[in-house]
Amino acid sequence: MVGQVQSFSVEGYRSVQNLHVTFDVVNLITGPNGCGKTNLFNAFRLIKAATEGRIGKALAEEGGLASILWAGSRGGAQPTVGVSLVAEPFEYRLELGIRPASELPLFPLDPQIKNEVVKLAGKVMVDRKSSIAHMSSVGGRRHLRTDLLDSESIFAQIGDPEEFSYLYNLREMVARWAFYHEFRTDADSPLRRPALATYSSRLADDGSNLGPILYIIQRQGDRDALDRILETAFPGTKVVTDYGQFSMEVDGIHRTIEPREFSDGTLKFLCLAAICFGTRPPPLIALNEPETSLNPNLLEPLADMLTYASAFSQLWITTHSEDLSRHLVNRIDCRPIRLDKVGGKTIRAGRPNSAWSIED
């Protein structure tokens, strides 16, 4: 299917030395804490940072390039990190490394793009090494660029939507993917404050538009399915929305409960509900340990929500919860991919400590 992710590969990213993932509709990555699930998640998220033209910022948030490079034996080779994606009709590969000291860099820890390749229907359209790129336009014209900033992706520097419309299309495709790592639930969290009542196509990364999204779902989405899930998760309660605000009515309590009074788990579950029941579902939803801070009784309703979402979106779910994995497997035709760590290296559980693939 056009736009659906078919595979993802990563090399040299923290504990992941060499890994290839063949995608299905639901991709369930399991394993104990510290085995490398989040490393795999963040490596995948690097694809989006590249297409958005913010590699430097994304790596700075991870502690810089040096902090994400494979720390194991390299056999004398210069350390690099590589990520590759296949999503019909596109293929994309990005390789980053440390800037050579011989170049006397102003900021030595800035990443340097070693290679960047974009293919369209199997044809190489961009072949880049550092600041030099051979490019093809959609009409077949060949271009040579020698002035590229070597610390940022091609997407941040080529803006002609006619000559290079495939870059625009690939960027727009990935821009619709939704990645959710965690939600703040402390007293100052945006989840606990009223949001400006404006239309949004999906829940913001920090959940700051939770109220408006729930309001949109209740007015334009599958409200019945949402209400059934919430009744199962929180018996005797009703979520009430009013544009940018939301609250709960609870049997036996003669006033509404405001978000500032919600438990952390309740807020987190409502965020997950807003993701799964959104009226404009992303083509891909990536969730890192969605069960964190949830009461164990909420894992089965969570599995129901994810099952609902899988009818509209590809799912990437990392979890260390065996219960959530079991509930999902009972509902969806998917096989959990279990990771482990041996000698500091992320491997697939039960396989030799070497480069490996996740295949169907």
Q: How much is the average pLDDT of 153-179? A: 93
* 355: pLDDT strictly greater than 60: no
Q: How much is the average pLDDT of 88-113? A: 89
> CA torsion 231→232→235→240, rounded to 10°?
-30
Are 164 and 203 members of one domain?
no
Band (pLDDT 50/70/90 cuts) for residue 201 is: very high
State residue 353's pLDDT score. 47
Q: Please state the pTM of the whole predicted model.
A: 0.92
Band (pLDDT 50/70/90 cuts) for residue 159 is: confident
Q: Which residues pair with 110 in a beta bridge?
A: none
CA 187, CA 174: separation in Å to the nearest integer? 33
Place of tokens 């891909």: 284
Q: Residue 89's closest CA among 4, 7, 25?
A: 4
Amino acid at 258: E
Are 207 and 67 members of one domain?
no
Are 210 and 327 members of one domain?
yes
CA 354, CA 17: separation in Å to the nearest integer? 9
Band (pLDDT 50/70/90 cuts) for residue 76 is: low
Are 36 and 152 members of one domain?
yes
pLDDT digits (tens, 9 = 90+) for 186-199: 999 999 998 999 99
* 104: pLDDT strictly greater than 90: no
Are 322 and 346 members of one domain?
no
Amino acid at 160: D
- How many other C-beta atoms are found inside a 10 Å radius of the C-beta of residue 313? 22
Are 197 and 72 members of one domain?
no
* 60: pLDDT strictly greater than 50: yes
* 183: pLDDT strictly greater than 50: yes
Are 166 and 78 members of one domain?
yes
Q: How much is the average pLDDT of 324-336? A: 92
pLDDT digits (tens, 9 = 90+) for 294-315: 999 999 999 999 999 999 999 9
More confident residue, 161 or 36: 36
State residue 243's pLDDT score. 87
Burial class (CB in 10 A: 0-12, 13-18, 19+), 198: exposed
State residue 354's pLDDT score. 42
* 356: pLDDT strictly greater than 60: no
Number of separate domains in the chain = 2
Are 207 and 333 members of one domain?
yes
Are 21 and 89 members of one domain?
yes
Are 170 and 48 members of one domain?
yes
| Averaged pLDDT score across all residues of the chain | 91
Please report, rounded to a whole number, the percentage of residues in the chain having pLDDT higher than 70. Answer: 96
Domain holding 245: CATH number? 3.40.50.300
> Domain range for residue 156?
5-177+339-358
Q: How much is the average pLDDT of 74-82? A: 80
Band (pLDDT 50/70/90 cuts) for residue 1 is: low
For 67, residues 6+ apart whose C-beta sits below 8 A from its C-beta are none
pLDDT digits (tens, 9 = 90+) for 167-177: 999 999 999 99
Are 24 and 149 members of one domain?
yes
Are 196 and 332 members of one domain?
yes
Burial class (CB in 10 A: 0-12, 13-18, 19+), 10: buried
Q: Helix, strand or coil for residue 337?
A: strand
DSSP H or E segment with residue 45? helix 37-51
State residue 75's pLDDT score. 66
pLDDT digits (tens, 9 = 90+) for 241-268: 998 899 999 999 999 999 999 999 999 9
